[in-house]
Amino acid sequence: MDFQKLAFLGTYETDDAKIMGVIMVTDSDTKPIEFRVTSPIKPTNFQKILYGNVLAEHILVELIAMPLLKAISNEVDLVLVDNPAFLGANSKQDLRLINIFSDETNADISDNKVKLESFNSNGHSAFVSTSPDICEELKPISSALNKISAVRNLMEPFSRLKLASEQVYLKKTKE
């Protein structure tokens, strides 16, 4: 298994409680190839009542992940996400979404996690996990990611996503 193109899928939360979805397609060196962002989403009080505790997953999967995955023009080998709620998209399309998180986060660490052995990030370990329906693919995926993470910090592109999203949002609000 070899990954030529990766996608990093995340969110940006604005100061006024809106959420934007963002995806960046990169080569295996994490150099950007394509960037897309959704319009800001702000659920109404009525939606909050109707959806209850599934609202966040609905927003992340149905309103952010699925539209962005359909919008990208590049074919990608793997999608890395920083929020496990995105993993619900695994059952809705053919791309594989993998949650990546560091040992310094308070991520919900599931039983189906694998440590990236060669993670390059200031001595912190990284883990990957995925949804139960594709967890048997996690070991070969992590093996391929180890080759990349030996020379690239696979958490760093999420910082770029947030900064780029902020720039897009600030530009739109000034117009």
63's CB contacts (< 8 A; 6+ apart) are: 21, 38, 41
Structure token pair of residue 40: 């800001």
d(C-alpha 46, C-alpha 110), whole Å = 32
| Nearest C-alpha neighbor of 77 from the set 7, 170, 155 | 7
Each residue's pLDDT tens digit, 4-26: 999 999 999 988 889 999 999 99
- Assess whether pLDDT exceeds 80 at residue 88: yes
pLDDT at 6: 97
For residues 127 and 63, the model is more confident at 63
Residue 12's Cβ-side half-sphere holds a number of Cα atoms within 13 Å equal to: 25
What contacts 76, CB < 8 A, 6 or more positions away? 5, 6, 7, 25, 95
Average pLDDT over residues 38-55: 95
Kindly tell me if the per-residue pLDDT of 120 is higher than 70: no
Report if pTM > 0.75. Answer: yes
Reported as a pLDDT band with limits 50, 70 and 90, residue 123 is low
